[in-house]
Chain A
């Protein structure tokens, strides 16, 4: 079945530090890949997505590249801000599973001033 594995948190960084959150996946078909962000007490918001190999999704300074050869979709940001503190979820949507979204367990990011 489909699965998403992302690095265990929590991750604590200082403001302006470089961020990487690793995400790898297994899927029966050719999935689309997503990063969602959840701010405290809120629902999930789509942060970025990529639908085919070598696509780069980007939004709000965050980037992730769809790497089919390594089945990965790592999230990066060059300079984090305090306002980036949130839980980040990697996810995939697999046509072989009727497009149900499969999530990783989430990574809590805390950015200190």
Chain B
């Protein structure tokens, strides 16, 4: 069966420090991968998605970047965190080429920038 792992679960970082959040998927090949952010009390914002290794699409201009060094690995990064980067970050995957099954989400990383 397919599983998605996301870590760390919580993170407290000072302003100006770097960030690296990792997401891996098991039990499937060539998944579509996504990073979402959920700010406190607000809905979900799609940050990045990837349909293959090295292929990253950015949905909104921001202080963050994403990379996909391997087929089932998706990394969210920042060189210098801002207070506004605080939020709940969710990784998700879906089967390539079809939208009938929706996305499967990881358990999320709660990032607090202080």
Contacts and interface: CB of A to CB of B under 8 A. Distances in A.
Interface in A54-113: 89, 91, 93-95, 98-101, 103-106
A99 B99 contact: yes
Most chain B CB inside 10 Å of its own CB: which residue of A31, A34, A99, A100:
A99
Given A32-B102, A49-B102, A103 B43 contact: yes
Interface string B84-114: 0000001010100111111111111010000
Nearest to B90: A43
Nearest to A108: B41
B24 interface: no
A17 interface: no
A31 B99 contact: yes
Interface residues of A, number: 25
B44 A103 contact: yes
Interface residues of B, number: 25
A49 B99 CA distance: 11
A42 B107 contact: yes
Contacts of B6: 43
B104 A32 contact: no
Interface string A4-48: 000000000000000000000000000110101000011111100
Nearest to B6: A43
B49 interface: yes
A96 to B, nearest CB: 10
A91 B43 contact: no
Nearest to B97: A99
A18 B56 CA distance: 43
Interface of A: 31-32, 34, 36, 41-46, 49, 51, 89, 91, 93-95, 98-101, 103-106
Interface of B: 6, 32, 34, 42-44, 46, 49, 51, 90, 92, 94, 97-108, 110
